[in-house]
Amino acid sequence: MSSINLKLKVWRQKNSADKGKFVDYDAKGISTHASFLEMLDVVNEGLEVKGEEPIAFDHDCREGICGMCSMMVNGFAHGHQKGTTTCQLHMHNFKDGDSIVIEPWRAKAFPVIKDLVVDRGAFDRVIQAGGFISINTGGAPDANALPIPKVDADLAMDAAACIGCGACVASCKNASAMLFVSAKVSQLALLPQGKVEAKDRVKKMLNAMDAEGFGNCTNQYECEAACPKEISVSNIARLNREFIVS
């Protein structure tokens, strides 16, 4: 099992009121089989042994599902590897002696809670504003009771793959949430179950997005490039169409 030594420059910030700063750390003897978060675990264990405050970072599933492992790695959301969350980024992608800059999402709508942890509650509030459907919650209907063309079902599933991590916002120069909102609108707009609230949904979610302080979309497509689930910007076009007819 090979190992590498790294130089880390990590953003440390006590709370949202603190100015924060970068702090240098050595990450020694890191297994190339370790994930990026496991590398941070090793660094934190060393800090705790020395009686120092460990680096705070968000994580949960560590399987690329929950979207909580939100951080910028050398200027890239979730790191430089395409279609990958931070927890899926492995240390064999780095070389011995590399310097790695690690910082939180930078967006007005995502205030820093501590170190690399940001409050992404704005996404939850956007969803609460209109990301739901009216449906009878009784027994499960037969699978063929509501026929849906496969093309529409596939597109809806592609949009539903969004994990709400916020990489699109962090990568956009305007901190726009259009890719996230359009994915959540699309996954319902493409299905018959989502038609009931369609007109109200798009207005409410866009109003909530604006109220949270997200910026405007200027079609640079950095959001799609940074998305770990590779959500297509074609969803933004669908969102705009939904808004025009609402």
- ∠ CA 101-56-8, nearest 5°, is 25
Whether residue 135 is found in the same domain as residue 228 = yes
108, part of any domain: no
Q: Which residues pair with 27 in a beta bridge?
A: 6
Q: Given 69, 103, 137, which residue is the final one in a domain?
A: 103
pLDDT of residue 140: 74
Residue 90, pLDDT score: 97
Q: Look at residues 200, 152, 211, 154 and name the one whose alpha carbon lies nearest to residue 177.
A: 211
Whether pLDDT at 158 is above 80? yes
Give the model's pLDDT for residue 1: 58
- Summarised one tens digit per residue, pLDDT across range 133-154 is 887 777 877 767 788 999 999 9
Inter-residue contact 113 to 107 (CB < 8 Å): no
In this structure, the answer to whether residues 144 and 85 fall within a common structural domain is: no
Examine residue 27 and state whether it is found in any structural domain, yes or no. Answer: yes
pLDDT tens profile 14-59: 999 999 999 999 999 999 999 999 999 999 999 999 999 999 999 9
Does residue 239 sit in the same domain as residue 164?
Answer: yes
Asked whether residue 115 is assigned to any structural domain, the reply reads no
Give the pTM. Answer: 0.93
Please indicate, yes or no, whether residues 126 and 238 belong to a single structural domain of this protein.
Answer: yes
Residue 113 domain flag: no
Q: Which of 152, 246, 138 is nearest to 192 (CA)?
A: 152
Residue 8 tokens read as 């880390």
In whole angstroms, give the CA distance from residue 63 to residue 164. Answer: 15
- The reply to whether 124 and 183 lie within a common domain is yes
Number of domains in the chain: 2
What is the C-alpha to C-alpha distance for residues 190 and 94, in angstroms, rounded to an integer? 41
Q: What is the pLDDT of residues 209-218, one digit of tens each?
A: 999 999 999 9
Q: Is residue 176 predicted with pLDDT exceeding 90?
A: yes
Both tokens of 163, joined, read: 């994990």
Q: Is residue 48 part of a domain?
A: yes
Could you tell me the pLDDT band of residue 87, with boundaries at 50, 70 and 90?
very high
Q: Say yes or no: 124 and 232 in one domain.
A: yes
At residue 79, what is the residue type? G
CATH number of residue 41's parent domain: 3.10.20.30
Range of 63's domain? 3-103
- Within-domain flag for 153: yes
Structure tokens at 176: 């726009």
How many percent of the chain have pLDDT more than 90?
Answer: 91
Q: Are residues 236 and 154 in the same domain?
A: yes
The answer to whether residues 165 and 239 belong to one domain is yes
* 60, 161: one domain: no
Query: Please, are residues 215 and 160 in contact by the beta-carbon 8 Å criterion?
Result: no
Residue 142 belongs to some domain of the structure: yes
Domain check: are 156 and 89 in the same one?
no
pLDDT at 245 over 80: yes
Mean pLDDT (the chain) is: 95
CATH number at residue 224: 1.10.1060.10
- 125 and 57 both lie in a single domain: no
Tokens of 108: 């007005």
Q: Does residue 109 belong to any structural domain of this protein? A: no
Q: Are residues 62 and 144 in the same domain?
A: no
Pairwise CA distance, residues 209 & 150, whole Å: 31
pLDDT at 12: 98
